[in-house]
Structure 1
Amino acid sequence: MRFVLALVTFVVAAALIALGVAERTVLRPADHVTLSASAPKDVRYVVVPGSVLTAHPGVQRVHLAGGSTAFAAYGRTSDVTAWLSGQRYAVARVAADGTPLPAVVRTAPVVAGLTGGHPDPNGSDLWLDQARASRSLDWSVNVPDSVSLLVAADGTAPAPAAQVRWSMRVSTPWATPMIVTGSVLALLGLLLYIWALVHLRRRRGPRRKPPQRMPKPPAPPKYRPTRQPAVVASKGRRSVRNFSVLLAGGAASAVLLTGCQGAVAAAPAPTTTVDPASVVAPVAVTEEQGTRIVARAAAVEQRADASLSKSTLSERFGGAALDLRAAAYSIHKGDKKQALPQQIPTAFSMRLILPEATRAWPRTLFAVVSDPADAKAAPLALTLEQQTPRDPYRVEYAQELLKPAGSASDLPKLPSAVLGAARLKPDTQLLSVPPGQLAADYGLLLQQSDAPVGKAFDTAADPLLKAAGQAAKAAVKKGLGSTAKVAFSDGTTDPASVVALVTADSGALVSVQLQETWKVTPTKSDVKVKPSGATRILAGTGSTTKGISSTYGYQLLFSVPPAGSKERIELLGYAQGLISAKEL
């Protein structure tokens, strides 16, 4: 019986140890889930939607392989779809339980203003982040379900094969107890086996007989009348039997719990459905995106200033800002003493950033930057626009603020960068003066200081009125004498160039461009007009009997109060300079 107990103990010990080891090896649930997505050879883009990226909890590890270039980026799902306008792309899918499904090929809806071709997604301002490498790419991201992943090569080559892997938290709580318990039982079984052998030897006794005489019948072994063997044997049988039942139940529970654990780990994260109509328009860019966009514009401007190249500048500049700086390049080529407009510092300090809250295009970004290395330089107010999903943000206005501090306290109270601001139409009646009318009214004020429209403006501390207002124009007329005359006129303002962002007090920050033309003509036939400085360089002539037409560009930033307010329109900053000149 003692051998039976030892054998049973060994068997139970071996079973427990085997179960413990198996739970950590063959019975251990997978510690990761992998999704593979590939596109046909004629498809150049793969999209992993946010619902797929969040099908399993944890960090998403992206692996791309195949081809000479591997590119991945993530952005808002609506932005990714807009960027893919008209393009065929493969969409990764999963079932409701997170099981991977074959990818399907779709065509993105066409966005107005975008043409065909196969664009390269590298460097787009829409991406929240991106990664690019040769041949293969490993990238870890952790994004919400409102964000999708775009995979491509360079737009011309087929998209590389993509894998998304999620690490799963796997626990084996019963493995260690079973292995430890099995080891203890194995030791106990060994002791029981030794005890059984000792007991067997004592029962047999000595077998050798004395050679001199006949041996006496062997006396039975004398055992002390103690209860220890009986008690131990009886208690051992009950203990082993009960303990075996307990361990069998524990092992079964461990197997069931292990299976349940794997099922729970593989369950997909719950999703909720939100009515799009109830969601407020998101900001066009995040603060991190906005800072990166301004840095890219500053880098392009630096390269363009070094080469005096308008084509290089046009990569990140447009509108009034491009006109003024491109003209300055031409002037500087003719006269190195002519300075360029203030440059965006490459190592700038971001004082303020305000993106537009919208899902449509064009999109607007307003920012205030300063140069920490030059305390005397005025902060720059930048207004940038993105015309289509594939266009970069371009600087449309770059005005020097009048107040040197350049902090948020120098501007009207603005919405937070997280909420963003709405953009008003040029003809809105929500302001004291419609944004589209500001340039014309201010242009009239520059020519007539007592014009009726001047009542709407705060002219007490306006430096531009002093530099280019009625008094300055009178001085120009006086300097020409009786041999020549000058006429001033303002050009019409393109409504599309007017940018008005709502402030927190229901007013608006408004950027407009004013073009003022000076026509200088001789009053006598034998008199020649001799332009000088920048006008001579752009006109390409040193004298003329026909006259000279010079156009000055003004980039104006106003704070406009809401309709019905008693406050006045305030000029916050400006940039001005000659943008063209020609012989009449």
Structure 2
Amino acid sequence: MRFVLAILAFAAAAVMVGFGIAQRTVFLEPDKVSLGTVVENQASYTVITPDALAAHEGKQTITLSGGGPVYLSYGRTADVLAWIGEDPYVSVGHDAETDELTSEVVVANPVDDSTPGTPSTEEPEATEEPSEDGEAEPDPAASPAGSDLWFDEFTGDRTLTTTIDVPEGISVLVASDGTAPAPGRIVVSWPLDNATPWAGPLMAGGGLLFLIGIVLVISGVMAHRRSRGPRRNLPKGPKGKLMRAPRPPREQRAALSGSGPRRSSGRARRVALLPVLLVPAIALSACSADYWPDLTSAPETTAPATPVETAPAGEDEVEADEPAAPEVVPAVSVPQMERIMRRVAVFTTEVDADADSQRLAERFTGPAFEARKANYAIRKSLPDHAALPAIPAAPLTLTLPQQVTGWPRTVLTIAKNNDDETVAPTALVLRQESPRENYKIMYATALVPNADVPEVAPASIGAPPINPEFKGLIMPTGQVAPAYADVLLKGDESEFAEFFDPEGDTIRQNLGVEGQKKTSEDLPETADASFSNEVGDSPTVALATNDSGALVTVSINQTEKVTPNDGGTVGFQEGQPGAALSGFDEKSAKGVQRVVGIQLMFYVPAVGSDEKIRLLGWSESLIGASEVK
């Protein structure tokens, strides 16, 4: 019976192991699904739409092939289309019925610039100037490479393969150099779950049955040998003696005592042990996670959920003529802002080292541009003059993007300098004027010691901009700059002094009444000093905080005039920044003047709060010097 059970165990083991191996070989499903298309149109840009990227579940592996450089980036669909503007492009979509990629040429409609909040995508026609060898140079403005709009970008030569994992509402932009046709061959792949959860149990179970069969065979053989033991009732010979069995011939004795057959039997036993070792090895090899059932709970997706829009109660239908409200999104994401700040930090380091005011305009604008441009001019005449603080790239302790529907876009961030703990964190306001322009630093202020920055919305939500005339604050944001300019000029006698918290406001000591008095005392008796403040030309940036207050960034220009009072002349002191910046090294009967640019960031509380307007950060630098007109 044991032998019968052993045969059944061997047969079942063979079937189970064979079927388990077949699941990982002949019956194994593909590990991915791929859709491809060949774009024959000669457009410079190709857009892979969200429905094409979401044709199947899972991460998207995109393979591009072309005859030259290959470029790929991805970002919000609205940003991708805004960057393309009126240029024609190829849209790659998905046909759900045939499960194939489709392509069509799209020519964008002209944008109505009169619509408020709508980005102007008008671009001058690209002109290609011939190079020295007669070939046309590509237009840098036509290349999407390096744009701050993208979440990430990749480049390659002739071919490019990359894997991304994007949620709904994201499109992929494909190009070459922005002038040549975009790569024509596109393949998008998604992973398939080809796990065989029963392969492992089948192979392990087959191995176990095989071992059981071996045990049954061994026990059966041992039982059979015991049943063939010596017989006790042997026949007796004459006179009652037991009969002795005849002695075998010598050849048989030699054969029984010899080692020949025993060697053959030992070899056979070793061969028989091979399956015993082989089957468990096969079973143990099935240790991959794809071989076994997944008993753990399914992981939650990391893609942001898209809310389902439902009609309000009592409204079953929406009028077709009613336009949909524009989508409000944060200007940037945190990873996007981190990439932008790395670029800005590297750019600033290079430009500061070369004191290149022409390149400076690529990443700076407004008061921040004026301050650095003037510093470059001073350092060219006075090499020992201190440079402005560097722009730190990381870490970003706060990122507050503006909620936007179009352009311009603004984001406030605070970057800390980990290399030097004595340097105060820098609060930066960056602004993007149009889709094809990058973010530029408009304001750069150093936080005051122990600055109490209020809580703000997370970067994934952003903050709404506040109208300069909004009445929900203790002072409208449009009045903060002129009010503080009056406080600097008049001190506590200003009618607006009661609105501002003097604690920790060190700028009043430097540029306020006290600082102005000290400047006048340092002048000779034959000269007088006068001061005036005016609001800078750059726009006020105001973003809401969680407590209904606002973070407000403004600029003020303070003009200091020194004029003679005895009919004589005055001028800049030699070797001073004013003389270096103005280039005026003579004496003047009219007098000379200096302009100091002041950048400030305030916290303005909401109406009903018992707090005052609090200074959070500021910076000042000489931005102008000349003879009095």
TM-score using structure 1 length: 0.75
For residues 171-570 of structure 1, the aligned pairs below 5 Å read: 274=309, 281-346=328-393, 348-403=394-449, 410-449=452-491, 450-494=493-537, 497-532=539-574, 533-545=576-588, 546-570=590-614
**Equivalent-residue separation in structure 1 for 2:456 and 2:198 (angstroms):** 59
- Residue 319 of structure 2 aligns with which residue? none
Preserved CA contact (<8 Å) 1:555 1:576: yes
Q: 1:119 aligns with which of 127, 142, 158?
A: 142
**Equivalent-residue separation in structure 2 for 1:380 and 1:174 (angstroms):** 58
- Residue 4 of structure 1 aligns with which residue? none
**Equivalent-residue separation in structure 2 for 1:42 and 1:550 (angstroms):** 57
Q: What is the root-mean-square deviation of aligned Cα atoms in Å?
A: 3.2
**Equivalent-residue separation in structure 1 for 2:339 and 2:179 (angstroms):** 26
Q: How many residues align?
A: 475
Cα deviations by residue, 1:180-227 (Å, 9 ceiling, x for unpaired):
x9xxxxxxxxxxxxxxxxxxxxxxxxxxxxxxxxxxxxxxxxxxxxxx
Give the drift of 1:539. Answer: 1.4
Structure 1 stretch displaced more, 415-424 or 116-125: 116-125
Summarize the Cα distance change of 1:69–1:562 in structure 2 as closer, same or farther, 3 Å threshold. same
**Equivalent-residue separation in structure 2 for 1:365 and 1:344 (angstroms):** 16
Preserved CA contact (<8 Å) 2:52 2:101: no
Structure 1 stretch displaced more, 532-541 or 300-309: 532-541
- Residue 86 of structure 1 aligns with which residue? 86
**Equivalent-residue separation in structure 2 for 1:24 and 1:471 (angstroms):** 84
1:491 aligned counterpart, secondary structure: strand
**Equivalent-residue separation in structure 1 for 2:591 and 2:485 (angstroms):** 23
- Residue 4 of structure 2 aligns with which residue? none
Cα deviations by residue, 1:261-310 (Å, 9 ceiling, x for unpaired):
xxxxxxxxxx9964796897222111111111111111111001110111
TM-score using structure 2 length: 0.70
- Residue 106 of structure 1 aligns with which residue? 106
Give the drift of 1:41. Answer: 4.5
1:564 aligned counterpart, secondary structure: coil
Preserved CA contact (<8 Å) 1:39 1:89: no
**Equivalent-residue separation in structure 2 for 1:39 and 1:521 (angstroms):** 72
- Residue 168 of structure 1 aligns with which residue? 192
Give the drift of 1:335. Answer: 1.1
Preserved CA contact (<8 Å) 2:367 2:555: yes
**Equivalent-residue separation in structure 1 for 2:413 and 2:75 (angstroms):** 21
**Equivalent-residue separation in structure 2 for 1:412 and 1:145 (angstroms):** 33
Give the drift of 1:312. Answer: 2.3
Gapped regions of structure 2 (runs ≥ 5): 1-18, 112-118, 127-140, 207-305, 311-322
Preserved CA contact (<8 Å) 1:436 1:493: no
Cα deviations by residue, 1:382-406 (Å, 9 ceiling, x for unpaired):
11111111111111111111125x6
1:581 aligned counterpart, secondary structure: strand
Partner AA of 2:145 in structure 1:
N
Preserved CA contact (<8 Å) 2:45 2:182: yes
Preserved CA contact (<8 Å) 1:87 1:108: yes
1:378 aligned counterpart, secondary structure: coil
Partner AA of 1:284 in structure 2:
A
**Equivalent-residue separation in structure 2 for 1:133 and 1:146 (angstroms):** 25
2:430 aligned counterpart, secondary structure: strand
Preserved CA contact (<8 Å) 1:309 1:329: yes
**Equivalent-residue separation in structure 1 for 2:23 and 2:424 (angstroms):** 69
- Residue 575 of structure 1 aligns with which residue? 619
Summarize the Cα distance change of 1:375–1:273 in structure 2 as closer, same or farther, 3 Å threshold. closer
**Equivalent-residue separation in structure 1 for 2:307 and 2:591 (angstroms):** 71
**Equivalent-residue separation in structure 1 for 2:571 and 2:22 (angstroms):** 99
Gapped regions of structure 1 (runs ≥ 5): 1-18, 182-270
Cα deviations by residue, 1:98-133 (Å, 9 ceiling, x for unpaired):
611430111235441541446211111111111111
Summarize the Cα distance change of 1:483–1:35 in structure 2 as closer, same or farther, 3 Å threshold. same
Cα deviations by residue, 1:425-476 (Å, 9 ceiling, x for unpaired):
2232222222222121111111101111111101133100011111221222
Structure 1 stretch displaced more, 443-452 or 480-489: 480-489
Give the drift of 1:173. Answer: 9.3
1:452 aligned counterpart, secondary structure: coil
- Residue 160 of structure 2 aligns with which residue? 137
Give the drift of 1:357. Answer: 2.0
Summarize the Cα distance change of 1:531–1:27 in structure 2 as closer, same or farther, 3 Å threshold. same
**Equivalent-residue separation in structure 2 for 1:171 and 1:479 (angstroms):** 83
1:304 aligned counterpart, secondary structure: helix
Identity of aligned residues (%): 35
Structure 1 stretch displaced more, 67-76 or 521-530: 521-530
